[in-house]
A and B are shown apart, each in its own frame.
Chain A
Amino acid sequence: DTAVSQTPKYLVTQMGNDKSIKCEQNLGHDTMYWYKQDSKKFLKIMFSYNNKELIINETVPNRFSPKSPDKAHLNLHINSLELGDSAVYFCASSGEGGTEAFFGQGTRLTVV
């Protein structure tokens, strides 16, 4: 069983469109995250949710809106997509203390 799964794996879309990425974890973790990996492989946290509550929002444009319907799911909705949003987006989860994060396989978003 996949511990952290996100869909879709690839997403190609035009500028201005709205898209969503879904994430689910079956590890029983309380904390979930969205990370962005740019073309230079740099990993940067975007959001963190603990028990469905937002605890980290790293100055991400408000076109990005995370939603956590329950502690096993954290979805990312992106409005008015821009070329600069092209990247790989990783969902992750961690248990108590947040010291060990488990990552999903990533969603490669390409905005054309």
Chain B
Amino acid sequence: QQQVKQSPQSLIVQKGGIPIINCAYENTAFDYFPWYQQFPGKGPALLIAIRPDVSEKKEGRFTISFNKSAKQFSLHIMDSQPGDSATYFCAAIIGGSNYKLTFGKGTLLTVNP
């Protein structure tokens, strides 16, 4: 049973475009939703995160939109750059009582120059 579903599997945009990656979750006990960025040969690194009491969070060019009723959240990358080319993972966790991050399957983003 996949508790966090992520789409698309891959995404190609031109420099300056706004890629959008979508995730949906099933377990309403999840209360923290981080996004991780992974470059080839490196470990995932925390990019931005949101709690379900907030509908949007912005950090630099990265924005998370959160729809609690639909159990969906998405990552938008404004003014995307070739250096943003990486694999992006959404995740969910029940903070404090359960230390298990449940990851989506990842989206390979390619930003062409």
Instruction: Enumerate chain A interface residues (CB-CB to B < 8 A).
Output: 4, 31, 33, 40-45, 48, 50, 55-56, 58, 90, 92, 94, 96-106
Contact of B101 among A45, A55, A104 (CB under 8 A): A45
- In contact, B43 and A99 (Cβ under 8 angstroms): no
Shortest CB distance B76–A (Å): 21
- In contact, A98 and B95 (Cβ under 8 angstroms): yes
Task: Tally chain B residues at the interface, Cβ within 8 Å.
Answer: 25
Interface of A, helix, strand, loop or mixed by DSSP: strand
Bound form: Cα–Cα A42–B108 in Å = 12
Count, A-B residue pairs, CB within 8 A: 65
For A42, give the chain B residue with the smallest CB separation: B105
* 22 A-B pairs (CB sep. < 8 Å): A4-B43, A33-B99, A40-B105, A41-B87, A41-B105, A41-B108, A42-B105, A55-B99, A90-B43, A94-B99, A96-B96, A97-B32, A97-B95, A98-B99, A98-B100, A99-B32, A99-B95, A100-B34, A101-B46, A101-B101, A103-B44, A106-B41
- In contact, A99 and B100 (Cβ under 8 angstroms): no
With A43-B106, A50-B99: A100-B49 Cβ-Cβ less than 8 Å:
yes
- In contact, A45 and B100 (Cβ under 8 angstroms): yes
Contact of A44 among B32, B45, B103 (CB under 8 A): B103
